[in-house]
Amino acid sequence: MENKVVVITGAGSGLGASLAKQFANSGNHICLLGRRKEKLERTANQLNSRYSIYEVDVSSKEDVGRVFRKIEEELSAIDVLVNNAGVGAFDLAEHIEEESIHQMIDINLKGTIFCTQEVLAGMKQRNKGTIVNIVSTAGQEGKVTESVYCASKFGVRGFTESLVRELNDTPIRVLAAYMGGMESEFWDGIFTPEQTKGLMKTDDVAEIIIDSIKPRKYLAVTDITIKNKKQF
């Protein structure tokens, strides 16, 4: 994948930042999307190719529409969309606060849907494009203290599987990436560095995802599962 316009949500840290760096290494133009400009700038400083920064709240359809229109006006068509933005709040089901419930459903699920809606018409018109949804293994099985997080990710899974079927007769590629816990800022304030030591590295996961969406004759990778050797 070279000379593409690649849009990555949640690009300020973790897997989003790793994906940005590796897509940049192939000479693509990287659109870094997130809520905090300073974090996006930190990622941008590590890139060796062209980039643009856009502050956006993916849970707002209006804000998503504004930003995606701006990208298309400034850079033309979007070739690759990576729906990576996500949040998690972990506790027993009865203790999860209402605001946390709204955030997980709005960002993890609705954000993925809103961003995808913005690129579908253009990709269908051009008859090409790639959509990558970062789901997590929380979209494959229920987990203790992750009931609402899993609910949001199961929603993303259902949306993605349906999208694959809707686009089955087109060259547009859709990939669902299911991965376990990674060593990243996602766990800050939830687990200690000692608890997350030995988890997968985001650079390794990013490499596998990008390799999975490379064009190949006679095959399409629609989902991948990447797990830790260490139980977490």
Cite the active site residues.
149
Q: Six-digit token pair at 138?
A: 């929380």
The DSSP call for residue 104 is: I
Q: Would you call 194 helix, strand, or coil by DSSP?
A: helix
Amino acid at residue number 202: T
State the residue for tokens 């494009």. Answer: 129
* Cα 117 → chain centroid: 15
Burial of 89 (0-12, 13-18, 19+ CB in 10 A): middle
